[in-house]
Structure 1
């Protein structure tokens, strides 16, 4: 380089105390977020504001070409991130004055149905006022796959190691807000993200009820996916081998037996004692669902039912 050394020395004297405050993209390291925590919360500003992806209505047939309206103002939410911990921030939803559709950061609500956007967001809503960063959810998924980490332990790992309590706001409006990540947030985030990825891979749109209990909101979507995977989602579904299925001749009658549980443990997956019964058992203690007469069964009840 032809840059004079005295010029380099002058630049270092002028900017040496500032350069370490910036990352490789030229952004200040944490200083912006700190300024927002100190001065932005009073004015409903933060460094991680959440908005719908569009300011115009996309409802088919709606003729409204005006900007969507913010009728209620931003709501306080907690955003669980990987780099900044649990952040105090705000989420905004917008409304169409003509068709009454309501647009949220993750989805639009029409006629009581949540319709998720095609692009998977970086902030996944897991409860009314809680969002989890996609990178955090991928961390939980990998912990479950690699080390069998439970949702409870995953939440504890985050609260202990990643929540960064030093970044929690001291603002009086946030004193009673809980910044603890709960196990149900981990599970709901896992479910929402995997369903969104499944629908995106099929160029489909995830639709779930907007009303009702959060624990029941995604049940139908999960059942639909499980049924599809069972019928046509695995290339090995129609295979025939001598490892998982045993076929033998019993005095001229061909009989078959197959394993029920591959890994030797079943937790939270109750099923009826009747082979291929399509009716779901309510609890693990119910061996025979009420609509199946005991006279039609060929299985001995488990110890839990005795």
Structure 2
């Protein structure tokens, strides 16, 4: 059966583009294969289309709209540049203006791929969507929905289309910016400097000296990971507790049909974790935290006590203290935090996943990876636990940051550091560093990580169930777009910005 369609999509060439092919730019491609597809556009809504691929009989490459595929390897080689329409699945194409809209909605509106798909299907898929969605207001009689029933491919945008499109579009943008082949790579270090994070002062000898600062902090968003502490091996499935290397641990302290052995105290923990009333108690706890009273007729007795999502504790306190309280983990574990190193102006220099904890040794190694040579280290490295970091480096006789001062930001120093800790006061009190002050005001915004964490935390619900590779790529793209936005806003404000070579960071 031949179905009516709105258009056709072809490869961008009629001749072979492989330089080592005998038919290079000469022989016409043959053996066309045509099939139905769906094109999602921003200007015209959703369109049923046909797409055609062509074949080179000399080098065995089949040419599609965005890429060519070799017969023997099935490797997709994308063409240079960013096309106006991107194939996101076998039967689905999305126009790049629409993908750019989705990318910015995710970057600045924290919209999930599912919400982007819902908004498109309801408000953008049809040019008269405002009428279809408000039939009574426009005095339009309801009519049976028939569009798409005769087309073999779905005309509904799905969340996987949005996510796949975002990944491919981002990769093609990266490839076009670097004029290179399509290679998956993290953004790494953003070589930025501006008048808000790079200050030049006169020292006591009348010489010009630069003052640069970097701020470090973590955010507790994360992705599922192996329950073995600090294990970085990816999980085969989101719902597993252990990676393939540690699957044998599933049988420890477990019996048939149960995750605990026949020990009464252990069985009680598992029963409490899986009680149906647990979710209701979580809602009650949220009401209490909001300062609202819980209706007495909806309160469940002690048997329904909520024991938490990730770990549980036995009722009551041990005479020996909390350290001896029985704990268990029945759900999937997530990574501990995403650690940021930023410039005080708002540019994110780098980020890293901390799996088990925010260990001081891990922060030290992360900082050394970002500033790999003594010449690249900043004059000030601001971290909320710098007294411990300073002591760690001193104990290890690590002199990598010997020319870097380690103050604590003002907020954390006032709220979390003891006045009686002389070591902390001596090395980390921000008031002890006059270069940080000018006319009684701080040169740098030392709380920039805390402020950025508000933005970053908005992705918690979007990221939490992604596989580790998609998680890393998605977060890297969001940070890249955020950096571009911050850099643009700095320029609009008249702040001089420039790029530095990595060695000068």
> Corresponding residue for 2:245?
290
* 1:82 to 2:42 alignment: yes
1:95 paired with 2:55, answer yes
What TM-score results when the alignment is normalised by the length of structure 1?
0.60
2:17 aligns with 58
Where 1:181 maps in the other structure, the secondary structure is coil
Q: 1:270–1:284: 8 Å Cα contact kept in structure 2? A: no
C-alpha contact (below 8 Å) 1:56/1:66 kept by paired residues: yes
Instruction: Flag the 1:271–1:117 CA change in 2: closer, same or farther, 3 A.
Output: farther
- 2:15/2:29 contact within 8 Å kept: yes
The unaligned stretches of length 5 or more in structure 1 are 1-40, 207-220, 245-258, 295-301
Contact 2:233 2:243 in 1 (8 A): no
Alignment gaps of 5+ in structure 2: 130-144, 193-211, 250-309, 312-327, 331-505
Q: Which residue matches 2:220?
A: 264
Which of structures 1 and 2 has the bigger CA Rg?
A: 2
Q: How many aligned residue pairs are there?
A: 215
Cα separation, partners in 2 of 1:135 and 1:56, compared to 1, 3 Å: same
How far off its partner does 1:177 sit? 3.4
CA contact (8 A) 1:274 1:288 kept: no
Alignment of 1:134-173 (within 5 A): 134-164=96-126
Distance 1:43 1:151, change over 3 A: closer
Q: 1:185: which partner in 2?
A: 161
Q: Scaled by the length of structure 2, what TM-score is found?
A: 0.38
Distance of aligned partners of 1:178 and 1:291 in 2 relative to their CA distance in 1, 3 Å threshold: closer
Shift, 1:171, TM fit: 8.8
> Aligned pair 1:234/2:190, yes or no?
yes
Label 1:145 to 1:117 Cα distance change in 2 as closer, same or farther (>3 A). Answer: same
How far the C-alpha of 1:199 sits from its partner, in A, is 1.8
- The CA distance in 2 between the partners of 1:292 and 1:203, in whole Å, is 43
Contact kept in structure 1, 2:81 and 2:175, CA below 8 Å? no
Partner of 2:219, secondary structure, is: coil
**How big is each residue's C-alpha offset from its partner over 1:8-67, in whole Å with a ceiling of 9 and x where there is no partner?**
xxxxxxxxxxxxxxxxxxxxxxxxxxxxxxxxx958763x42111111001232112221
Cα 1:42–1:284 shift into 2, 3 Å: closer
For 1:240-276, what per-residue CA distance to the aligned partner results, in whole angstroms no more than 9, with x for missing partners?
Answer: 97853xxxxxxxxxxxxxx5xx33333x35366544x
Structure-to-structure mapping, 1:215-230, within 5 angstroms: 224-226=184-186, 229=187
